[in-house]
Structures are given as C-alpha cells and as structure tokens.
Chains A and B, each alone.
Chain A
Amino acid sequence: MAKVWRYGDNIDTDAIIPARYLNTWDAAELARHCFEDVDQTFAAGVRPGDVVVGGTNFGCGSSREHAPVALKAAGVSFVVAANYARIFFRNSINIGLPLVEAPDAVGSIKAGDDVTFDSAAGVLTNRTTGQSWTVRPFPAFLTEIVAAGGLIPLTRRRLGLEGGTSAGEGGGDAGEGDDR
C-alpha cells in the first residue's frame, strides 16, 4: 500500500533535508536524513511507494535540488500538496519526482491513509476513505519534460544529441502551476 506521510503548510526545504547534509550529493545518504528535524520517524519508516502529503507552499525556501532528490531516493512515489513553491516544483519535474497539485484533496487525507494516483487518468484516490479527485493536468510542455524522463534527456533531444532531430519544446520554467 502507498502509505501517506502527512505534513502541514509551508514545508521548507530545510525541513525536507537540513542544510548540514548539503556537503554530500549522495542520494541514499540524503534520504537517510530526509525530514530529520521535523519527523524523526520518517527516514526509518518510509517504504518504497509511500506518499508525502503537504498543504500550501510545499517546498518553500532554498533552491537545493537535494530536497526532491532525497524524497525520491527515500522511495516516495509522489507528493501531493495544495500548491508548491516554484523552485521546488521545477526541480521535482526536472529530476522526475511526480507532483500532484490537489488543493481540494489535501484536507481529506490523513497520515497513514492509502493513496494512489493514476497519472494517465489524472485521478487521485484515497483508498482508505474511498474518496477520489480529478486533478488538473499539467500543461503540455511540462508533460513533455516528464515524458522525456526529465529536463536533461529533453535537452539532449532538443540539441540533437540523442535520437535524431530536435523534438518539440519544453524545459525551463515549466512548473509554474498557478496561472496555467
């Protein structure tokens, strides 16, 4: 089951990975310290496929890409939040950590619930309560980054360094969710 780890509003990147561990870029090591200052049970208890759920402005603060890297390496399959801080959003998309923006859903999801996301259908389901929500899809350019496997593979393709001609557009500031 995809167990939920529930956090509040304004979860900052220092909470996700404290800066004292930014002396390494080793993903497994970062994962061992994920949420260390705000939830001492997370790193030991998280299982592959688990889900992190926050409120508004998730990932605010520092630009450290170590934050989504730590979440991904900890086995988090996706994050659900009411909305995201912009640099965290970009970083997550760029490295292939799926994010779900579901302001209507977060109030109904509790720690320990079993939550799944069908990305093709855009449906978020809380299997514990039986509720489900349709999630607004990301714009096409952003979906393209995800489909390409992240910003680096997309850039390679666009520069003609992989698989022939430049294909489509995408990248950069794709993640600006609010006014899409």
Chain B
Amino acid sequence: MSLTLDIFSARAGKRVEPGELVEVDIDLVLANDITVPLSIPEFNKIGVKKVFDPRRIVLVNDHFVPNKDILSAEQAAMARRFAREQGLPYFFDVGTMGVEHALLPEQGFISPGMIMVGADSHTCTYGALGAFSTGVGSTDAAVAMATGRMWFRIPPSIQVRFEGKAKPWVGGKDFILYALSRLGVDGARYASLEFAGEAISALSMEGRLTMCNMAVELGAKNGIVAEDDVTRAYLAGRTRRPGVEPRVAWPPRTQTSSSVAVGQSKAKAADDGSYAAVHVYDASKIEPMVARPHLPSNGAAAADLSGTRIDQVVIGSCTNGRLEDLQVAARILTGRKVHPDVRCIIIPATPTIYRQAMEQGLIEAFMEAGAAVSTPTCGPCLGGYMGVLAAGERCVATTNRNFVGRMGHRTSEVYLAGPAVAAASAILGRVATPEEVA
C-alpha cells in the first residue's frame, strides 16, 4: 500500500481508496505571519471562542519578520495577539522563530503517521519524516483551528525511485530538480509523491526534507518518504513536543516494493496496484542541477549554463537553509572570496542552525569570504526583503520558486540550485559547478 493510503487508512479505521472522501482528525495546524491575518477574521466568523486544542496549533512569524515595514509589523502583531488570546504555547517570534518548515521538524513537532495541514504551500516538507502534511489556504486553516477536523480526497500515489549512488556534490535539491525536469510542474498534480530507492535510503534527513519541500512544485498534494533508520536517528536526536503526537497509534511500517527497471516509467506498477505510476531514475547519472527562469521544471545541468553571469546568490529558505546546506556551502566558500560583482546572502533557517553554524566556524568562513549572514527569515525567497532584485538582475538561489517577479522586479531572473552550485556560483560570478572551484 502507498504510504499516504496507509496513513489515511489507519486514521479512518478502514482501507481507503484514491478518490474517496474522508473527514479525519488532524494532529497539527500551522500558519504564519502572512497567512494567519486572513485566517483570524475567518476564525472569528465561525463563532467558536477557542481553538480546538491550543497545543496543536503552531504559529510562526517568519515571512516578513523581523518586520520589513509598517504593514508587515501590523500583520505580525495580529498573529501575536491571536496567539496570546488563544493561549497558544507554540508561538514562535523574533529570537525563537526560524523558517517554519525547518523549525517544526527540528523542534520535535513532527512524527511519522501524523496528519497535519499548514497555511503555506511548503507544508508538504514534513513528509520526509513519514508524516502526511499538506498546504492549505487561510480559510481552511481557520476551520481546522476551530474544529480539529478536515475533509480530504484521498490522492492517488506516484512513486519516484532514485536507484544507484549519487555523484559527489549531488544532493536532494539536484534529485528534485531532476524529477521536476522530467515530470513537469503539473506532473504530480493532486497526487501524493512518494520518494524511494537506494539513493533516497542513503540520503540525509536534510536532503529528504528538501525533496519533500518541493513536491508542491510538481503540483503534488504531499511528498513522503518511508520511515527508516535515518528517520529514527533524526527523531532520537530531539525532544518531542508534548501534545502533538498522532491522534491514532502508528507502529513502524515497511514499504511496498515495485519491480520497475531503472530508467523506466510504468503506470499501475506497484505490487498491489496502489500506485498510479512509478518512475525510476538512475541517481548516478544526475549532475549538479539548476532550474532556469521562470519555472522550477526548467532543469539543466549547471555545467551547461557556465556563461550565465549573476548579480546575487541566496543560500537559505525552507528548502536549503539547514545545517547540512551551510556545511556544503562552507566547504566551497572557506578560504575563497565571493566575486566582486556578486552579493552573497546566507540565511541559516533557524536560531539553532545559526548557533551550530557559529560553533562550527561556518559563519566566520562565510564572513571571511565576503558573504552577508542574516537572522532567520523567508525574506528574499518571495521577494519580500533582505535581497530583492532590481530590473534585469540574476540570482542563483537555493530556494524553491523562480516564477516571474518572485524575488523582485518582473524582469529579474532566479536560477534555482542546491547549496554547492550556489556557493560555487558566488565565487565565480556566474553559474558554476562545485568542481570548478573545490
């Protein structure tokens, strides 16, 4: 059975099928400083006084915080007031806040078998831990906060397997950009996107979080990876938050296998027929990738874009702002200098990551190289602040979207990449591969 079918079947207390509608208890609801201002008036219209369970609501002021302007300040204040009025124990603001999808797994909110929703499209990140999580809008989030329940249409599942051993410098970002280039921005529309295979088993939790984070860029409802030793080691390393565990028991599961050859795609391929399609890629052939403007599916090998001059590099975000990403960037930036024509902005995604990066000497290496290091924020990823692009400027970013105007002026351009390509590009002032500098 596909992982998502398994989770919903356990929750519904019966075997569910794709296309079926279920209304289930949800374990956690997330919102942030730009989505909760739309949720709060809707919540108030419902007429309930209190949220269904204060411990199962997480609010993170991360998008335009520290406040970028007066309007943003008002929105952050609105979230703050709501958290206070509702007595929410899990409200994260300047000082404790990080980019939400890096923060929640790190702070022990996520566990396998959970069902959660968040008023942010990248809520699909948490599937890396074997949870079902999906993005919703502000009105859905308001109803979820009030009732603790939500309707779902059970999605069909698409399994994407990466077999073989990844090349040096190739990580989760390269895998997901490769899958996007093959399947397109609607290649998994409405479906559950399940990642499996030898190269996924060998991938760090950080890399898995990156991949599930961008499942939505293929139109997927959620991304998910089966719980394994990597998951258990990650969970063992952190204190779990009380009151947020799954509302039904969830024993460890084993994954359904399929017999599709490397390089092949097949419909209805799983042993029990529960996958709408299975795609199998040879991980050992995947190069460090870049997605050209203006779609995340415009993938190319970074080596093929070496003539592309750039003005800015951003390393951070819910996609690639974790410690491993900063370690990869530091391996390339240490002892080198950022190109004089490039502004290099590095944003550790959470305070814990920032502190670890400091303790490991990464921040010093970045500053020595001439990069700017910022407190956690989503800021530049969505063209908010802390790195907005002027007309015609180009940026290599470890973020998730390169739509028209995403990081600034409508004629600016975003090239998506992993931290290795981003750091190498910062040094050479053009799109570059890590091999060119390290």
Contacts and interface: CB of A to CB of B under 8 A. Distances in A.
B185 A57 contact: yes
A64 B382 CA distance: 12
A151 B139 contact: yes
A43 to B, nearest CB: 14
B384 A20 contact: yes
A155 B138 contact: no
B169 to A, nearest CB: 28
B385 to A, nearest CB: 9
A69 interface: yes
B204 to A, nearest CB: 27
Given A15-B403, A18-B383, A159-B147, A150 B137 contact: no
Contacts of B260: none
A171 B143 contact: yes
Contacts of A172: 23, 140, 143, 150-152
Given A62-B121, A64-B34, A65-B35, A151 B143 contact: yes
Given A19-B382, A22-B63, A66-B38, A14 B186 contact: no
Contact of B405 (A18, A24, A56, A169): A18
A146 B410 CA distance: 35
A170 B147 contact: no
A148 interface: no
A83 B135 contact: no
A152 B189 CA distance: 26
B151 A174 contact: yes
Interface in A77-123: 83, 85-87, 90-91, 94-95
A56 B186 contact: yes
Given A19-B406, A25-B38, A155-B143, A63 B136 contact: yes
Contacts of B69: 23
Interface stretch (B44-52, B237-245, B328-336, B341-349): B44-52
Interface string A163-180: 000000111111011111
Given A14-B405, A173-B152, A179 B18 contact: yes
Nearest to B123: A63
A159 B137 CA distance: 21
Interface in A1-52: 10, 12, 14-15, 18-20, 22-25, 36-38
Task: Choose among B47, B68, B69, B140 the residue with the greatest number of A CB atoms under 10 Å from its CB.
Answer: B140
B219 A60 contact: yes
A102 B19 CA distance: 20
Contacts of A173: 21, 150-153
Contacts of B64: 22-23
Given A22-B63, A23-B69, A86 B137 contact: no
A147 interface: no
Contact of B47 (A85, A156, A176): A156
B410 A86 contact: no
Nearest to B411: A37
A135 to B, nearest CB: 19
Contacts of B58: none
B151 A171 contact: yes
Contacts of B68: 23
A138 interface: no
B137 A85 contact: no
Contacts of A66: 38
A152 B46 contact: yes
Contact of A57 (B138, B139, B219): B219
Contact of A63 (B21, B120, B146, B404): B120
Contacts of A159: 46-48, 146-147
A18 B405 CA distance: 7
B100 to A, nearest CB: 12
A140 B156 CA distance: 21
Contacts of A95: 139
Contacts of B295: 10
A23 B120 contact: no
B338 interface: no
A109 to B, nearest CB: 20
B119 interface: yes
B190 A10 contact: no
A66 B120 CA distance: 12
Contact of A91 (B71, B139, B156, B383): B139
B401 A178 contact: no
A94 B119 contact: no
A176 B190 CA distance: 7
Contacts of A169: 23, 151
Interface in B88-146: 119-121, 123, 135-140, 142-143, 146
Contacts of B217: 61
Given A63-B136, A86-B221, A159-B46, A37 B35 contact: no
Given A37-B405, A90-B136, A69 B147 contact: no
19 contacts: A19-B382, A20-B382, A23-B34, A37-B404, A60-B186, A61-B401, A61-B403, A63-B35, A63-B120, A65-B35, A65-B139, A86-B190, A87-B137, A90-B136, A94-B139, A152-B142, A162-B47, A170-B151, A176-B155
Interface of A: 10, 12, 14-15, 18-20, 22-25, 36-38, 56-57, 60-66, 69, 83, 85-87, 90-91, 94-95, 141, 150-152, 155-156, 159, 161-162, 169-174, 176-180
Given A23-B68, A179-B190, 9 more contacts: A37-B410, A57-B186, A63-B120, A85-B186, A87-B135, A90-B140, A162-B47, A170-B151, A171-B150
